[in-house]
Chain A
Amino acid sequence: MEAYLGYGLYILSLLTVGGIYAIFALGLNVQWGFAGLFNVGIVGFAAVGAYSYALLTTAESTFHLGGFGLPLPLGMAVAMVASAFIAGLIGLICIRLRSDYLAIATIGIAEIIKLILKNESDITNGPRGINKIPRTWEHFSEERFYSSWPMSWFGTPENWDAFFDSLPNWYWQPLFAGTILLVVYVIYRMLERARMSPWGRMMTAIRENESAARASGKNVTRRRIEAFVIGAAIMGLAGALFAQHLRLIEPTQTFDSAKVTFLVWVMLIAGGSGNNKGAILGAFLIWTIWSASELIIGGAINLIGAIFTTMDASILQTRAGFLRMMLIGILMQVILQRYPGGILPEVRPASPKADTKVAGTTGETK
């Protein structure tokens, strides 16, 4: 029974993190899949979301600014707004230029954000980071939540304390995973709606042929900034959820551009850019491969260590993570060259009266 519980919790954590990455991938899909905007600063938007959420919702602390103890949904909303605001600034400057410049600018802004988080120790506690970030559902068992409203309306702190003691200590895990999956579903439905709407079709038109779209009177720059800002807001939300999942965030290791930006890109490309279902599928698939490869490479190292007893297994272990990154990079190159459409290629939104047409691997409609 205990063993099954362990497996169950492992699957739940896969679903949780996979779901968070799915939200990132959906955000990137709005920017890249819908509008063709090349954003390689995902980690920056994630960090902005995560830090604004963390600063607003943690209990008062001497290590960093505030700890304002605000309600969790408010923290998440501010995370979205903050991330969208920064995206708006970048968009105003760079979107009228060619996509390469946007790529350089986004990678730059991500580094600058991390630099600020590292240097402004009074606000962010610098490289030591922020900890004890409240996690949805688990936070109910913290004293500062059950002793204040609205929970204090339903029971005394003693009652709540006894109630949470009676629950197993992993009670929040299925609930947290469920919440994240619900968020993924809601965002998915909203984006599907957006994609099928005139706005979504206009985005496709702009991406495929900018001058034609401009000639037919579409405000290309404005639409692009809209897509960039919406995508960044979704990434900010994902960043806030990422902070909840980790509970401790710091600027360098948590927000490593390889582990966030690059993985999300591989997820979207593997799943199929332009396709919301593809983004979600890619996120869960790549995250499963990524986590499973840790176990497989770990096993392989033990095997090598057992066969070649002269080799030092610990050196291999420290380098296994890098090998994993390299393999994922090669996987991305293969997908990019052989299967540019991804697993679920983009389906073009047609006007409601026409037949739905399937876009080919190169994006043309048959």
Chain B
Amino acid sequence: MWDAFGFEFVNFYFIPGLVLGCIYALGAIGITLTFGILRFANFAHGEIMMSGAYLTWTMMAIAGAAGLALHPLVAMVPATFIVILLFLGTDRWFYKPFRKEDTIKVVMASFGMMLIIRSAVQVIWGPNQLTFVPGIARPNATLQQITGDLGAMIIMPNKHIFIFAGTVIIVIALSYLLNRTRIGKAMRAVSDSPDLAHVTGIDVDRVIRATWIVGGICAMAAGVFLAMDIQMLETTMGFRMLLPMFAAAILGGIGKPYGAVFGGLVIGLAEELSAYPWIGDAPLLSPGYKTGVAFAIMVIMLIVRPQGLFKGRSF
């Protein structure tokens, strides 16, 4: 049904792009929520993602010592609680003192937290790379069989299926939370206008706590998915995600969670597809410059439309 080019395009560029996009999307949800509700760019977000992946690794190691081989997605659940506590603790001790002051002070504090969390992880787990599950991930045989019979063979390892499914579940849960529950509506209200929300009797502190919890769950999932995808844990992986996640948040519009999901998918696809040989045989852009794509998109957005595609806030 499709030729060799289509096969190559879908399996080696499009699907990896979507996987990366899902990871960016989950990370960007947290960033856009904090940016919208607490009104500052949280530089420590990537590091929280990274520390979440390390905590999951530790849970797996503990379970492994007890003779229990846990899947990262299961080990993620207890680790999520620690990450949420970490988020709430950082907020309580390092961000809250500046809430009444200039926002740039909080940005500075989060920049400091970025370094503190990263060095803490390096002190505890050491600078070497770790892996959840060593070895090469084999493509899912059933999927390959079925799609192969249909004439459009899709090669996809199980980890990618888990990442897609996990992202879809989290985004659906998030939209339920934001549209159907009281606290979700309050979050949207505070994001739109904090003063008005305060006047109408919304407990802003509670909303802020909810923001950190939602952001923490998304960051945790993003960190673990990323570690599953690249099959290793290293201390700089959070920082490398930071720029694309900011780009995704700005592309979708600050304070718009759906915008962040859309932006994340666009940035992820753009990064992977930029290496596709669109013209001639050579990659359009050397794969070494993938990170640059996110930055370029962000700069263009800042020039042309700083409020983002979905009419977010522009400051």
Are both chains from one complex? yes
Instruction: Report A's interface with B, CB cutoff 8 A.
Output: 36, 38, 40, 93-94, 97-101, 103-105, 107-109, 111-112, 115, 118-119, 258, 262, 265, 269, 315, 318-319, 322-323, 325-326, 328-330, 332-333, 336-337, 340
A115 touches B289 (CB 8 A): yes
List chain A residues, Cβ under 8 A from B299. 93, 105, 108
List chain A residues, Cβ under 8 A from B103. 99-100
Q: How long is the Cα–Cα vector from A152 to B250 in the complex, in angstroms?
A: 59
Q: Which of B43, B105, B123 contacts A322 (CB 8 A)?
A: B123
**Given A98-B315, A100-B41, A111-B295, A325 and B108 touching (CB < 8 A)?**
no
Give chain A nearest CB distance to B123 CB in angstroms.
5
Q: How long is the Cα–Cα vector from A100 to B306 in the complex, in angstroms?
A: 12
B120 touches A326 (CB 8 A): yes
**Given A115-B292, A336-B109, A319 and B126 touching (CB < 8 A)?**
yes
- Partner-binding segment picked from B111-119, B137-145, B153-161, B165-173: B111-119
Q: Which of B104, B126, B314, B315 contacts A36 (CB 8 A)?
A: B104
List chain B residues, Cβ under 8 A from A105. 298-299, 302
Cβ of B97 within 8 Å of any chain A Cβ, yes or no, is: yes
At the interface, is chain B mostly helix, strand, loop or mixed?
A: helix
A330 touches B116 (CB 8 A): yes
Cβ of B291 within 8 Å of any chain A Cβ, yes or no, is: yes
Give chain A nearest CB distance to B84 CB in angstroms.
21
A319 touches B288 (CB 8 A): no
Q: How long is the Cα–Cα vector from A253 to B304 in the complex, in angstroms?
A: 35
Cβ of B210 within 8 Å of any chain A Cβ, yes or no, is: no
List chain B residues, Cβ under 8 A from A332. 112
Which residue on B lies nearest to A36, using beta carbons? B104
B306 touches A112 (CB 8 A): no
Instruction: Report B's interface with A, CB cutoff 8 A.
Output: 35, 40-41, 43, 94, 97-98, 103-105, 107-109, 111-113, 115-116, 118-120, 122-123, 126-127, 242-243, 246, 250, 286, 288-289, 291-292, 295, 298-299, 302-303, 306, 314-315
B246 touches A104 (CB 8 A): yes
A319 touches B122 (CB 8 A): yes
A115 touches B288 (CB 8 A): yes
B119 touches A101 (CB 8 A): no
At the interface, is chain A mostly helix, strand, loop or mixed?
A: helix
Give chain A nearest CB distance to B291 CB in angstroms.
6
B107 touches A101 (CB 8 A): no
Give chain B nearest CB distance to A14 CB in angstroms.
23
- The 13 listed contacts between A and B (C-beta, < 8 Å) are A100-B103, A103-B111, A104-B246, A108-B243, A108-B295, A119-B286, A258-B115, A258-B118, A265-B111, A318-B126, A322-B122, A326-B120, A340-B105
Give chain B nearest CB distance to A338 CB in angstroms.
10
B126 touches A107 (CB 8 A): no
List chain B residues, Cβ under 8 A from A258. 115, 118-119
Which residue on A lies nearest to B314, using beta carbons? A97
B94 touches A333 (CB 8 A): yes
**Given A101-B306, A262-B115, A336-B112, A38 and B107 touching (CB < 8 A)?**
yes
**Given A100-B40, A103-B41, A111-B291, A38 and B243 touching (CB < 8 A)?**
no
Q: How long is the Cα–Cα vector from A107 to B116 in the complex, in angstroms?
A: 17
Give chain B nearest CB distance to A204 CB in angstroms.
15
Which residue on A lies nearest to B39, using beta carbons? A100
List chain A residues, Cβ under 8 A from B109. 333, 336
Give chain B nearest CB distance to A144 CB in angstroms.
34
List chain B residues, Cβ under 8 A from A118. 288
Q: Which of A262, A322, A329 contacts B127 (CB 8 A)?
A: A322
A329 touches B286 (CB 8 A): no
Which residue on B lies nearest to A114, using beta carbons? B291
Give chain A nearest CB distance to B33 CB in angstroms.
15
B127 touches A318 (CB 8 A): yes
**Given A97-B302, A329-B112, A119 and B288 touching (CB < 8 A)?**
yes
List chain A residues, Cβ under 8 A from B289. 115, 119
**Given A118-B288, A258-B115, A322-B127, A104 and B108 touching (CB < 8 A)?**
no
A336 touches B243 (CB 8 A): no
Q: How long is the Cα–Cα vector from A101 to B254 in the complex, in angstroms?
A: 11
List chain A residues, Cβ under 8 A from B315. 97-98, 100-101
A319 touches B291 (CB 8 A): no
List chain B residues, Cβ under 8 A from A111. 243, 291, 295
Which residue on B lies nearest to A323, using beta carbons? B123
Give chain A nearest CB distance to B206 CB in angstroms.
24
Q: Which of A101, A269, A318, A328 contacts B302 (CB 8 A)?
A: A101
Q: Which of A99, A265, A318, A330 contacts B104 (CB 8 A)?
A: A99
Q: How long is the Cα–Cα vector from A337 to B113 in the complex, in angstroms?
A: 13
Q: How long is the Cα–Cα vector from A104 to B108 in the complex, in angstroms?
A: 12
A323 touches B119 (CB 8 A): yes
